[in-house]
Amino acid sequence: MSTIQKAWRAVRRSLAPNRRQVDFVIGGAQKGGTTALDAFLRSHDALCMAERKELHFFDDEERFGSERVDYRAYEASFRPNAGHRLLGEATPI
């Protein structure tokens, strides 16, 4: 299992039952269109994108050096309202 798969599994386990779960992460390459896709998705009323593009949470090796990863900073990057059906974020790395 890859580091990203382990991290994603840990995110799902760490979320409290009453909290919203991130539904998708757009990963891409620099100059690969992630900014355009992020802007397009932000315009949709049913989607809640992270407060800013490129959170760089999952590509920070130091976060995943221990068994317990603190996801509070990641979760705080999303501010869904009642109309949002999906949560997501985009990063080129």
Domain boundaries, the chain: 3-91
Strands (E) located in 10-85 = 24-27, 47-49
Query: Considering the domain 3-91 in this protein, what is its CATH number?
Result: 3.40.50.300
Position of tokens 């809640």?
48
pLDDT tier for residue 4 given thresholds of 50, 70 and 90: confident
pLDDT tier for residue 18 given thresholds of 50, 70 and 90: low
Query: Whole-model pTM above 0.95?
Result: no
Q: What is the pLDDT of residues 23-45, one digit of tens each?
A: 999 988 888 898 999 999 999 99
DSSP 22: P
